A and B are shown apart, each in its own frame.
Chain A
């Protein structure tokens, strides 16, 4: 018998499918030189590499949070089978269980040892006073918080930083040794080249970013169980934990939305451009109509209607998580339906151009069928547009989630998301003194993901877009700015 019952939510399934798809695509790229060449440009860009490392860190947390299961209840009577808790947990919940379980009474500031609100306290000698009561978990190990808190935080942080530095140094050492063996050079030479930022792959930027992430991870591991690093919210939940849980929501909206919209955009866009005639007219009519409805309103209308559907069919969803999950998936589909028009128009234009090219004309003259021409000749030649628009859309979608949740048409209120965090913290703006940490945590986590995605998208666009060459600043200028050797440039 299994110690737990796996739960596969719809979005989990799609995430794993997407992950498998990306892995298969990576294998495919490795085998095809013309694709690998463009990706090499992405990997050789220092900014692109740093952004990639940050994105991988976010994705790792998101994937951990996508492995869901239900634990058995402790006291299950009878032998006729186990009963499982109605609460759906994820791997991340288990890893971060101190964060999840350390629930205080209400607000507390980051690193606080006392509550943020005055309450009646019963002293040991039976007197009652009004004051700030101690937190149940935050800094509970301290006997004299006012004296010991500062040194304790400093000591824990230094210990964490030390561990991070040690692991980082080990990784760096391993990398240098491995490179030295592969390139048949001395380790010192490899190290010197790395330090200068030379070489093919920007190891320096990779290591620097990795170091920063390791530091944050170890700080979280060290300080997280002892304090509420980013405070607690109204019902006393750890804000840092909420921000971590929100990563999955952000990633799901950023990726699944485009996954949902891709088949429509690809099929209709290429059909319109390639077949022309009435098919073109119909498809253009469809996307102009959809496009002319303000997207926020279309999303709002669709979400309102979906709410009615969920409310009138409550028996379709067995757990709260399943219900919130189906709402998240619906939101992705709706966002996809409203945002595929732009890509569709781009693909139509490109297909219009491609169908006039000689090789397509030749294929037609040989009597090759339409579907074969589309799949063999048109589709591979528009994939760079698809890729660029998928990465460019990602950050916009993550930001859109926050706005939509604020408007009230975003994810389910029970889903952890940055938008919901901002939305609930906004009501406390008028409080004196202000409760700022929920807002800040949500904005900082969102900023990290969106910034990395934006930088990565830029690098991908430059590597894949043939027109980007014209906009590119000459490499001589870049090398003056960054001290890079011109031969470190992959193009030129």
Chain B
């Protein structure tokens, strides 16, 4: 087990290096620091001096990969690649283009993101699995049929609609919750309740239908027929046999996203004014702050790879046949 995890982590390193090189290529080779400076200075103020000044202020005034003006190790370390990309492996994200410490911003914004993402994930899983089980329990009846119709309709609605309609109904018309904003501590409740509810509802369509497919596939297998033949009640068949055996596909889809919960939801957070990592990313994209986008790309990849490892480990917990060697 320990050996397996160590091997998986070692395997993750080349992937992270690949991500790093790719982001480096995208952000510095395709799109040179001069271009970045031009974007930030605006059309009017572009002079070679202004570009040079902007690059110096933001630390982009070094050679990309190799600094021939230095000696020894500094030939490699005094470059943009070392300063801006390699530092990410130690989670040194540097400063954003407007001078703020990205690492500090990420740490403070993680909390609000999690306050929404974790409940949405847990409640969503619970609601989707329960709804799917209900449909499977009544499979082949009108309830199942209209359940599927409802799911297909729900998943055909744009996620933006849920948010806009929810804000309109609950905040504007009925004045039940504030339209947007955030506060620390217990008072956060009234700010997060609506985003959480909307997050859960907008996921029901695709989620419940996906789980229903998984459960139906399990329910058609021989061992389920055997269980029924020996006289087990239908709820017992569903919960003890079908649900337990459907855990593997459920885990494949859900454990991998757990670490990514840190990243928050771009759209929800920006609509509801939650100061989390999602709105941080959106603001950075709109302000064309390449340093923050770069940091978030790297952070997202790290979290995704952690999710993959967690998925593998979770298999051993639910399936006694799986041994990680």
* A interface with B by C-beta (< 8 Å): 285-286, 288-294, 296-298, 300-302, 304-305, 308-309, 311-312, 395, 399, 402-403, 406-409, 418, 422, 426, 429, 434, 439, 443, 446-447, 450-451, 454-455, 458, 467, 470-471, 473-474, 477, 481
Asked if B285 and A409 sit within 8 Å, CB to CB, the answer is yes
Chain A residues positioned under 8 Å from B297 (CB to CB): 293-294, 297-298, 301
* A-B contacts, 6 listed (Cβ < 8 Å): A294-B260, A312-B35, A408-B286, A429-B164, A473-B140, A473-B144
Asked whether any CB of chain A lies closer than 8 Å to the CB of B8, the reply is no
Contact for B300 among A293, A304, A443, A450, CB less than 8 A: A293
Asked whether any CB of chain A lies closer than 8 Å to the CB of B197, the reply is no
Asked whether any CB of chain A lies closer than 8 Å to the CB of B258, the reply is no
A308, B39: Cα distance in complex, Å: 8
Asked whether any CB of chain A lies closer than 8 Å to the CB of B65, the reply is no
Asked if A473 and B22 sit within 8 Å, CB to CB, the answer is no
Asked if A297 and B281 sit within 8 Å, CB to CB, the answer is yes
Name the segment of B122-130, B288-296, B313-321 touching the other chain: B288-296
Contact for A407 among B15, B285, B304, CB less than 8 A: B285
Asked if B293 and A450 sit within 8 Å, CB to CB, the answer is no
Chain A residues positioned under 8 Å from B305 (CB to CB): 292
Asked whether any CB of chain A lies closer than 8 Å to the CB of B95, the reply is no
Asked whether any CB of chain A lies closer than 8 Å to the CB of B19, the reply is yes
Contact of A454 with B293 at beta-carbon distance under 8 Å, contacts A285-B15, A308-B39 already known: no
Contact of A301 with B293 at beta-carbon distance under 8 Å, contacts A454-B155, A455-B152 already known: yes
Contact for B160 among A292, A402, A454, CB less than 8 A: A402
Chain A residues positioned under 8 Å from B14 (CB to CB): 285
Asked if B156 and A451 sit within 8 Å, CB to CB, the answer is yes
Asked whether any CB of chain A lies closer than 8 Å to the CB of B26, the reply is yes
Asked whether any CB of chain A lies closer than 8 Å to the CB of B159, the reply is yes
A220, B39: Cα distance in complex, Å: 44
Asked whether any CB of chain A lies closer than 8 Å to the CB of B263, the reply is yes
Contact of A285 with B18 at beta-carbon distance under 8 Å, contacts A300-B285, A301-B26 already known: yes
Least Cβ distance of A427 to chain B in Å? 12
Contact of A297 with B282 at beta-carbon distance under 8 Å, contacts A429-B168, A443-B158, A446-B158 already known: no
Contact for B301 among A293, A308, A402, A481, CB less than 8 A: A293
Least Cβ distance of A472 to chain B in Å? 9
Asked if A454 and B39 sit within 8 Å, CB to CB, the answer is no
Question: Which residue from chain B places its CB closest to the CB of A296 in the assembled complex?
Answer: B266
Q: Is the interface of A mostly helix, strand, loop or mixed?
A: helix
Least Cβ distance of A226 to chain B in Å? 29
Asked if B164 and A300 sit within 8 Å, CB to CB, the answer is no
Asked if B26 and A305 sit within 8 Å, CB to CB, the answer is yes
Question: Which residue from chain B places its CB closest to the CB of A295 in the assembled complex?
Answer: B300
Asked if B26 and A302 sit within 8 Å, CB to CB, the answer is yes
Asked if A293 and B158 sit within 8 Å, CB to CB, the answer is no
Chain B residues positioned under 8 Å from A471 (CB to CB): 213, 216-217, 220
A349, B56: Cα distance in complex, Å: 50
Q: Which of A293, A447, A455, A473 gathers the greatest number of chain B CB atoms within 10 Å?
A: A293
Chain B residues positioned under 8 Å from A294 (CB to CB): 260, 263, 296-297, 300-301, 304
Chain B residues positioned under 8 Å from A305 (CB to CB): 26-27, 30-31
Asked if A426 and B35 sit within 8 Å, CB to CB, the answer is no
Interfacial residues of chain B within 172-187, with CB under 8 A of chain A in the complex? 172
Question: Which residue from chain B places its CB closest to the CB of A399 in the assembled complex?
Answer: B158
Asked if B156 and A292 sit within 8 Å, CB to CB, the answer is no
Chain A residues positioned under 8 Å from B139 (CB to CB): 473
Asked if A458 and B152 sit within 8 Å, CB to CB, the answer is yes
Chain B residues positioned under 8 Å from A434 (CB to CB): 168, 172
Chain B residues positioned under 8 Å from A470 (CB to CB): 216-217, 220
The 7 closest A-B pairs by CB, nearest first: A294-B300, A289-B18, A451-B156, A477-B140, A450-B156, A292-B301, A305-B31
Asked if A447 and B35 sit within 8 Å, CB to CB, the answer is no
Chain A residues positioned under 8 Å from B260 (CB to CB): 294
Chain A residues positioned under 8 Å from B266 (CB to CB): 296, 407
Contact for A406 among B19, B26, B267, B304, CB less than 8 A: B267
Contact of A451 with B153 at beta-carbon distance under 8 Å, contacts A297-B293, A305-B26 already known: yes
Asked if B157 and A443 sit within 8 Å, CB to CB, the answer is yes
Chain B residues positioned under 8 Å from A286 (CB to CB): 18
Question: Which residue from chain B places its CB closest to the CB of A449 in the assembled complex?
Answer: B156
Asked if A451 and B263 sit within 8 Å, CB to CB, the answer is no
A293, B140: Cα distance in complex, Å: 41
A55, B49: Cα distance in complex, Å: 56
Contact for A300 among B22, B157, B293, B301, CB less than 8 A: B293
Asked if B267 and A403 sit within 8 Å, CB to CB, the answer is yes
Asked whether any CB of chain A lies closer than 8 Å to the CB of B91, the reply is no
Contact of A407 with B267 at beta-carbon distance under 8 Å, contacts A439-B164, A473-B140 already known: yes
A362, B213: Cα distance in complex, Å: 36
A312, B286: Cα distance in complex, Å: 19
A39, B23: Cα distance in complex, Å: 43
Asked if B304 and A292 sit within 8 Å, CB to CB, the answer is yes
Chain B residues positioned under 8 Å from A422 (CB to CB): 158, 160, 164
A430, B14: Cα distance in complex, Å: 49
Q: Which of A297, A300, A446, A447 gathers the greatest number of chain B CB atoms within 10 Å?
A: A297
